Amino acid sequence: MEIGSTLGKENYPVWRSQDIGETWQRLTAGLPQHANLVVLREALATDTLENAGIYAGTSTGQLFYSQDAGDNWQLLADYFPPILSVETAIVDKITFHFLGGAMDQASFLSALAKLYPPGRLLTKSAQLAPFESDALTAYQVRPMAVVIPETQEEVIDTVRLCHTHEIPFVARGSGTSLSGASLPVAGGIVIALNRLNRILRLDPQQRLAVVECGVINLDVSRAAAAYGLYFAPDPSSQLICTIGGNLAFNSGGAHCLKYGMTSNHVLGIKVVLPEGEVIDLGGESLESVGPDLVGLYVGSEGLFGIVLEVTLRLLPKPEIFCTVLAAYRNLEAAGKAVSMVVASGILPGAIEIMDNLAIQAAEAAVHAGYPLDAAGLLIVELDGEAAVVEREFTALMEVIEESESYEIRVAKDEADRQRIWKGRKSAFSAVGRLSPDYLVQDGVVPRSRLGEALVEIQKLSATYGIRVANVFHAGDGNLHPLILFDGREAGAYEKAEELAGEILRMCVEFGGSITGEHGIGIEKKNYLPVMFNEADIETMRSIRIQIDPKEISNQGKMFL
């Protein structure tokens, strides 16, 4: 049997385990010139492989061990990322174990080790585990390594190194993506950016903040609060999610109808492109000339490199808020109320709807004071200058009273308002109480078809026998069906995913979108062709190739 045939990858050197003599010689011959085999038994005896036999490693970091078959081979591959795969073959009743590793990974890792001290270059199994997935936990991939840069220069050097060695990299902030945005790539690295968390400049008079990519969303508003300003985009995860991630996936939130998404609040960016070039796009002005390059970059899902620094537009904090809760006996009535509010000419800061399952979960989790018996709960919030909001409030109340609401409550103070929002923003995690696992979709339908969409989702839920909780940004027609399942049951995840897919198809059929704010990521790759045709996708791909010819930046996301 030809050694390596089972691995079938030309570029990968292959080593086998049995018999030390000749095989090891061949193994050495296949290594980079400066690599020497050394015995590493002592070094590893205290670690996860304590029962293993003889280990060998190279000065460039390659590692093998010869004796002892079975699980330990897998452990070895896990333990030492340059080994990409382990395969077992039985030839003449003798079991052979083959290790496959990318030739260049060893030299890549040793170069990486020159950039980072050991504490910020993670390669051990236990260290890598927390980075295997983001908030889309159904997908897990162990990266070769994780680096934790503290400066922009380190990020730039890392990207350049990745480019030279053709190693895929995934930028990661707090890992809150619901579409698998920061899922690692096998054989690639994760660049964890949380330590690039400096607010570099805050210019209240020009209403802007220059921040590093790892700054937490809410921290921008916290810093700006001293000047009566805030950063408008407020994804539910804003307590932990980072600006870099917000930017890469053009995050939304509850206030998009009036204030837009992240893209509408980014003035300028400094980025490192996948080939290592560092460029500035945009600037500090609200206006620009020439193609809106910042606009294209925002929402590119990490496929255009890494944002290092962002100039954000800040807004004056609304002087007052008026938050109204209205309860409905059925979801359609709540949907109708949304249309009535919109038709009235009032422009609320937010219009949200939650269904009974979501209300129950949120109420149990944070005691927001939601009416537990409501089939649909509408949250409408007005914000702005006091004199303006006061008058709009009168008009809004007329509309709500005219709707079929059976209970109306107005937030009596800021604490009450915060409670209402806390309930809404923790709805996803609260639903976790109802079910061991869930999938969240964020498809969009034209607002006037919200009612129809909800009926359709209910039907699908019944057909599949899967519970679906609904929370949505009703003002935007942005659905958030939470599809509940138990991952321990065989086939449950696949079934839930199938249901999710049907909802996405429905959104496209209704003239909407497969994603309003979570992005395509890894999760919705199959559905991009449902929304766009071949020429559309080819055009997007050609942009990607021009910016990242080696396709190493967040490889495997967005496109099939």
Q: Which of residues 407-446 bind other proteins (CB under 8 A)?
A: 444-446
- Give the bridge partners for 64, in sequence order: 56
Contact code string over 369-388 relative to other proteins, x by CB under 8 A? ---------------xx-xx
In sequence order, what DSSP letters do the residues of 489-550 get, joined into one string? Answer: STTHHHHHHHHHHHHHHHHHHTT-BSBSSS--TTTTGGGHHHHS-HHHHHHHHHHHHHH-TT
Number of CB atoms found within 10 A of residue 519's CB: 27
Beta 437-440 vs 481-485: how paired, if at all?
Answer: antiparallel
Q: Which of 206, 330, 418, 429 binds other proteins (CB under 8 A)?
A: 206
User: CB-wise, 115 or 395, nearer to other proteins?
Assistant: 395
Among the candidate windows 140-148, 215-223, 258-266, 372-380, which touches other proteins by CB under 8 A?
A: 258-266
- For position 289 contacting other proteins by CB under 8 A, the verdict is yes
- For position 225 contacting other proteins by CB under 8 A, the verdict is no
The half-sphere exposure of 83 on its side-chain side, counting CA atoms within 13 A, is 27
CB of 257 to other proteins, least distance (A): 7
- For position 245 contacting other proteins by CB under 8 A, the verdict is no
Among the candidate windows 43-51, 115-123, 291-299, 354-362, which touches other proteins by CB under 8 A?
A: 291-299
User: CB-wise, 24 or 559, nearer to other proteins?
Assistant: 559
Q: Which amino acid is at 314?
A: L
Alpha-carbon gap, residue 35 to 57, rounded angstroms: 9
- For position 528 contacting other proteins by CB under 8 A, the verdict is yes
- For position 81 contacting other proteins by CB under 8 A, the verdict is no
Q: Which of 4, 175, 188, 282 binds other proteins (CB under 8 A)?
A: 282
Alpha-carbon gap, residue 181 to 134, rounded angstroms: 8
Structure tokens at 33: 């010139």
Alpha-carbon gap, residue 471 to 358, rounded angstroms: 7
CB of 186 to other proteins, least distance (A): 25
Alpha-carbon gap, residue 490 to 467, rounded angstroms: 17
Alpha-carbon gap, residue 212 to 116, rounded angstroms: 20
- For position 299 contacting other proteins by CB under 8 A, the verdict is yes
Q: Which amino acid is at 5?
A: S
Nearest one of 165, 384, 211, 238 to 309, comparing CA atoms: 211
Structure tokens at 436: 């061991």
Q: Which of 163, 473, 480, 557 binds other proteins (CB under 8 A)?
A: 473
Answer positive or negative: Cα dihedral of 36, 78, 275, 154. Answer: negative
- For position 229 contacting other proteins by CB under 8 A, the verdict is yes
Among the candidate windows 4-12, 153-161, 222-230, 451-459, which touches other proteins by CB under 8 A?
A: 222-230
- For position 41 contacting other proteins by CB under 8 A, the verdict is no
- For position 353 contacting other proteins by CB under 8 A, the verdict is no
Structure tokens at 222: 């916290």
The half-sphere exposure of 155 on its side-chain side, counting CA atoms within 13 A, is 29
Nearest one of 261, 178, 183 to 217, comparing CA atoms: 261
Q: Which of 113, 240, 273, 365 binds other proteins (CB under 8 A)?
A: 273
- For position 117 contacting other proteins by CB under 8 A, the verdict is no
Nearest one of 509, 516, 539 to 249, comparing CA atoms: 516
- For position 295 contacting other proteins by CB under 8 A, the verdict is yes
Rounded (10°) angle between helices 356-366 and 414-425: 120
- For position 160 contacting other proteins by CB under 8 A, the verdict is no
User: CB-wise, 106 or 229, nearer to other proteins?
Assistant: 229
E strand or H helix that includes residue 458: helix 450-464
- For position 512 contacting other proteins by CB under 8 A, the verdict is yes
CB of 160 to other proteins, least distance (A): 16
- For position 272 contacting other proteins by CB under 8 A, the verdict is no
Determine the size of the site formed for other proteins (CB under 8 A).
Answer: 93
Q: Which of 117, 345, 465, 491 binds other proteins (CB under 8 A)?
A: 345
Nearest one of 287, 247, 279 to 263, comparing CA atoms: 247
DSSP letter for 317, please.
P
* Residues 6 or more apart whose Cβ sits within 8 Å of residue 70: none
User: CB-wise, 158 or 300, nearer to other proteins?
Assistant: 300
Q: Which of residues 15-34 bind other proteins (CB under 8 A)?
A: none
- For position 539 contacting other proteins by CB under 8 A, the verdict is yes
- For position 292 contacting other proteins by CB under 8 A, the verdict is yes
- For position 85 contacting other proteins by CB under 8 A, the verdict is no
Per the CB < 8 A criterion, the answer to whether 248 and 262 are in contact is no
- For position 2 contacting other proteins by CB under 8 A, the verdict is no
- For position 516 contacting other proteins by CB under 8 A, the verdict is yes
- For position 290 contacting other proteins by CB under 8 A, the verdict is yes
- For position 284 contacting other proteins by CB under 8 A, the verdict is yes
- For position 514 contacting other proteins by CB under 8 A, the verdict is yes
Contact code string over 304-343 relative to other proteins, x by CB under 8 A? ------------xxxx-------------------x--xx
Among the candidate windows 10-18, 64-72, 74-82, 527-535, which touches other proteins by CB under 8 A?
A: 527-535
Walk across the sheet containing 350-355 and list its strands. 407-410, 320-328, 376-384, 350-355, 468-473, 481-485, 437-440
User: CB-wise, 271 or 496, nearer to other proteins?
Assistant: 271
- For position 349 contacting other proteins by CB under 8 A, the verdict is no
State phi, psi for 157 to the nearest 5 degrees: -60, -40
- For position 255 contacting other proteins by CB under 8 A, the verdict is no
- For position 393 contacting other proteins by CB under 8 A, the verdict is no
